[in-house]
Each structure stands twice: as structure tokens, then as C-alpha cells.
Amino acid sequence: MRVLVTGAAGFIGSHLAEALANAGHDVTGLDALTGYYDRSLKRENVGRLAARGIETARLDLAADPLGPVLSEVEAVYHLAAQPGLSPDTDRRAFVRNNVRATERLLDALAGHPHLQAFLFASSSSVYGREATGAEDVELSPASVYGRTKRRAEAAVRARAASERWDSCILRLFSVYGPRERPDKLIPKALRCARRGQAFPLFEGSEHHRRSFTYVGDAVEGLVAALDRFPRCAGQAINIGAPSSTSTLRVLERVAEVVGRPLCIERRPPRPGDQQNTRAQIETARRLLGFAPATPLRDGIAREADWLERTRTGQAAP
């Protein structure tokens, strides 16, 4: 199929674009290369995709004309977003890149003659501080990020109801691995352990638990959603590891992998942080055959290896 991946220069989008091409799809990427984190990481991803024959159109979904890049597509994976919970991120960036960008993309796809599937990467953050239930629980996001993802989900569903194409909402849980965003727990901890620097821990977060999901496992779930699309049309599906691990345990794992202790510097609590996430994946198992299998220690070791190769300028996975 001819597939467009928005957010293709980003962490998950770049892995997804490659996996779809490996599965035989004709893939195009789209990304604005926003400045939320070091653009050179995104440029590297664009270069990696180009080497695989995947072009990435540099377009801003919230501002640029989208007609030409959409004209032939049969499936869209919409991953472009303002992610994260950083208090330094202006609320307007979440509204712009999560809500307005999604609405503009949906507008540009209105009446599309070829589109069959619109797959939206949402987040466990739509559930709120506790994300341990099935997909049909009431959504009560605790952060601006989560609220803008919920608004985007609603826009996708509403639009799909009046179009010839169908949608599927894929709610991702704490994805980690090579190319991960530098603002996240695992790459931050890996960098601190390697450099012997103190790790800034948000007060209380040591006991937070998360479904840490290896990026390769998450991408298998995303790809399966298109393979089995008629089955998952109209659904919301959790994509995550079915077990949860505390922040403290992750930091211990990081120290083991790096082979150095990690000293901790406490910081004030971060608003909007989730307390407990554990993906209930019955729906994903049933509809997608989803079976995430990467042990946390192996995934962290692969990410550490990637960070090391990036630092030393060697080609990274």
C-alpha cells in the first residue's frame, strides 16, 4: 500500500517507516522537524530513511499546504505530535501540534478518493494518573499533553464517521529504545550513568510504575494494525508491555547495563505525571496477535549501545 507516516523524523515514526518499507509498503514520511529536541537527531533519522529509499517531506501539518503529499496515499499513520510533559513546553505547542495539526490533516483528507485507513498514535496519557484499565474506561487525562491527545482522538473518530475511510486509535505506553527522545527517563539516566553525573529525579517519581515498551515491539503492533485493518477499524487499542516496572528499578537496570552506580539528585515533583501505567492488551492480542517480548534489560542494553555508537559517530540502528 502507499503509506504516509507523519512524524517520520521522530523516534517511533522513523522505526515505523522502516518497518513498513520492510513489510513491502511504499512509504513516504512527513515531518516539520520541530525544535522540541536536538534537530540533528531528526536529521539523522531522515538520512537513515533516505538511505532506505524513503523520502521525508518537510512540512508543518499546522501551517503548510498538504494536498500534494496526500494525493496518492491509501493509509496514513499519524504520529506527528508535541509529546512530553516538560513544564518548559508552552501549552500552545501542544494545542498547535496535537490538535490543530490533526484537524488540518483530517481536513486535507476530506473526500479522499484512495484513503482506506487512518491510524492515530495516541497515548496512555489519555487515561490519566492511573492507566491500568481496558480501552473503554472513561478518559480523564491529567496533563495538557493527555488532554490534547484526547481531543485529537475525538477529532479522528468524528471525521472517520463521515468519510469513506476508517480509523484506528493506537494508545502507546512508554516506548523506549534506540533513537529515543533525549528528554525521556532511560536516555537521560544512561547519559548520567555514563558521564558519572547526578540523575535529576522528580520527587515521588521513584515509585511510579510504567509499562516500558521496547520500540521494536510497539512498532510490530502498529504494523499489524494495518495488516489486519478491517478487523481493527473503529477500535481504540492499547499497545504496551503488559507488565509494569518502577522508576527505581529502571534506574537500577540502567546502572547494571552501564556498569556504574547512578547517583540521584531530587527535584520538585512534576505536574501531570502518571502514577501507574500497565497496559491491558487483551484487545491487541485478540485483534493484532500482539505479543511484546523484549525484556527490559535487553531493550536498555540496545539503547545504551545505540547511544554509545551515536557518541562515537558510528552508524547506529
Question: Which sequence positions are flagged as catalytic?
Answer: 145
Site string for ligand NAD, 31-60 (x = CB under 6 A): xxxx-x-----x-----------------x
Give the DSSP H or E segment for 78. Answer: strand 75-78
Regarding 169 and contact with ligand NAD (CB under 6 A), the answer is no
Q: Least distance (Å) from ligand NAD to the CB of residue 81? A: 3
Residue 236 interacting with ligand NAD (CB under 6 A): no
Q: Which of 54, 81, 192, 288 binds ligand NAD (CB under 6 A)?
A: 81
DSSP 49-69: HHHTT--EEE--TTTS--HHH
Q: Minimum distance from CB of 47 to ligand NAD (Å)? A: 14
Query: Are the CB atoms for 156 and 124 separated by under 8 Å?
Result: no
Question: Considering the rule CB under 6 A, would residue 181 count as an interface residue with ligand NAD?
Answer: yes
Compute the distance between CA of residue 283 and CA of residue 293 in angstroms, rounded to an integer: 17
Q: Is residue 28 a contact point for ligand NAD (CB under 6 A)?
A: no
Note the helical H segments in the chain.
11-22, 39-51, 67-70, 91-94, 101-108, 144-161, 185-195, 215-227, 229-232, 247-258, 282-288, 296-311
d(CA 28, CA 8): 8
CA 67 distance to own-chain centroid: 25
- 157 Rama sector, left if φ>0, alpha if ψ -120 to 50, beta otherwise: alpha
How many chain residues are in contact with ligand NAD, going by CB under 6 A?
A: 28
Selected from 83, 146, 178, 221, the binder of ligand NAD by CB under 6 A is: 83
Which stretch, 78-86, 229-237, 282-290, 302-310, contacts ligand NAD (CB under 6 A)? Answer: 78-86
From the CB of 234, what's the least distance to ligand NAD, in Å?
20
- The cell numbers describing 26, all together, are 511504499
The interface region with ligand NAD, picked from 73-81, 132-140, 158-166, 299-307 by CB under 6 A, is 73-81
Q: Would you tell me which residues interact with ligand NAD (CB under 6 A)? A: 7, 9-13, 31-34, 36, 42, 60-62, 79-83, 97, 101, 121, 123, 172, 174-175, 181
